Every structure is written in C-alpha cells, then in structure tokens.
Amino acid sequence: MSAPLFLVEALPAGVTCTLDGPEGHHAATVQRLRAGETLILADGRGGSATGRVTEVRKGSVAVEIVGREHVPAADPRLVVAQGIAKGDRGELAVQAMTEIGVDEILPWAAARSVAQWRGDRGGKSREKWVATAREAAKQARRAWLPVVGGDPDCSTKQIAARVGEATAFVLHEEATESLTSAALPAAGDIVLVIGPEGGISEAEVETFVAAGATAVRLGREVLRTSTAGVAALSVLSARLGRW
C-alpha cells in the first residue's frame, strides 16, 4: 500500500520532527503506525516530505525525514461551480471531485437548488465541504489541497464573473457540442458549471453563455449532480494529460 499522508501547517525544517495534534493522534491511535513504517507529510500547497517513524508515543509519532518533493501547481486549473444539492449529494460530489483532481470548488446557490445556505447553516455547510475535501485529498495522496470558495456560497452573478475570466463550460443536457471536442486553453482557469438536482434554468444558461461560457454535454445520458462533475473532470484530466 502507498504510505499514508498527513496534512501539516508547515513542513519540518530539520531531519526529525514530531507529528502531534489530530494528525498525530490519527497516525498513532487510528492507523496504528509502527516504528520503521513510512508516512508522508504534506502542506497542501505542493510540498511534501517522506518520513520514517522512529517512535510511537501517546497521540503522536516521532519521524525521521528521508526525502522531500515539491509538485508545481496544475496549469490549467480545474474549477467547478457546483450547484448546492440537498442531503449528502453535495459532499459526495466534493469527495469524488477532489479524488479526481479538482483545484477549486465554488458552492453555487442556483435557482433550482433545494437546499439553501443561509445564516449559521451556510457556514456549517461550507465547512463540511472543506472537511470533506481535506479528507479526500489525504486519501488520494494529493500534494495540493483544493480550495473551497464562497462566503459561504456564490450567487449566479458571482459565478458569471468567474466565467468571464476563464475558459468556461456549462453542462447542459440540451447542448449540441461535446466536452470531448471543445477547445481547451494551454493555461489559466477552466471553469465547469454543474447544476443542482433540479438542473440549470434557461435564464442561468443564458447568463453564463453571455459571460463567455460554452454549453456542452457529455453524452446521451443525464447524470446526477453528484456524478456530473466527476465525469467532466475525468474527460478534462485525460485531455489535458493529467492522466
């Protein structure tokens, strides 16, 4: 198996360190690492250090650093404006898209979003997405932690502004152009707009197209909001040579 990855605020400067706090507890108590086993420390900003466990303590492990690496940020960046969905579908989408390699996720308060992120609920819902992305990034051994934008969510006007600054695609079942053949940029942001479970309204499609987006489809099938972004990211990852 691949060495487990633990996220830290900053990588150790020296050749030894102690992994403590929640991550240290997870390493010592949950994963039950033993002396001699290998782990990876990552800062979520491209930097990582491979270490060897030298001692297991209560709630922490002592680590000897044996290697370091820095992975450059991806370019083009893959940004998904994900329509807020009810229940756990949004979190399922965030988890899978993080594993696939999304670079930024924008929670979008679409017209047909059943769930509404208002007040304290909005902040808590956004934090769930942040925590989900963090855990999925660790599981996938990602060097870069995806950004979850929004404060706590984004309006259609805000998404349209991001569309206007990037190469953007709106997934829509009635589109005639395929994402597999759409022109892609060599650099910058690629924004994918994914509707909620009720789909994207015609007014929203018109707003995004007017801002510069292209309406595209993946195939004949109509995908759920929790899987559409994953499928689209897979297509782009293959086309951009990430895979």
Report CA torsion sign: 162, 166, 171, 175.
positive
Whether a cis peptide bond, with omega within 30° of 0, leads into 72 is: no
Task: List Cβ neighbours of 241 (8 Å cut-off, separation of 6 or more).
Answer: none
- What domains, with CATH codes, occur in the chain? 5-70 (2.40.240.20), 77-239 (3.40.1280.10)
Per-residue pLDDT of the chain (243 residues; tens, 9 = 90+): 689 999 999 999 999 999 999 999 999 999 999 999 999 999 999 999 999 999 999 999 999 999 999 999 999 999 999 999 888 899 999 999 999 999 999 999 999 998 888 777 788 999 999 999 999 999 999 999 999 987 788 999 999 999 999 999 999 988 999 999 999 999 999 999 999 988 999 999 999 999 999 999 998 888 899 999 999 999 999 999 999
What is the pLDDT at residue 2? 85
Q: How many CA atoms lie within 13 A of 212 on its CB side?
A: 12
Write 225-228 long-range contacts (CB < 8 A, 24+). 225/82, 225/83, 225/85, 225/89, 225/90, 225/93, 225/194, 225/195, 225/196, 225/197, 226/85, 226/89, 226/90, 226/92, 226/93, 226/96, 227/93, 227/96, 228/171, 228/194, 228/195
DSSP single-letter state for residue 144: B
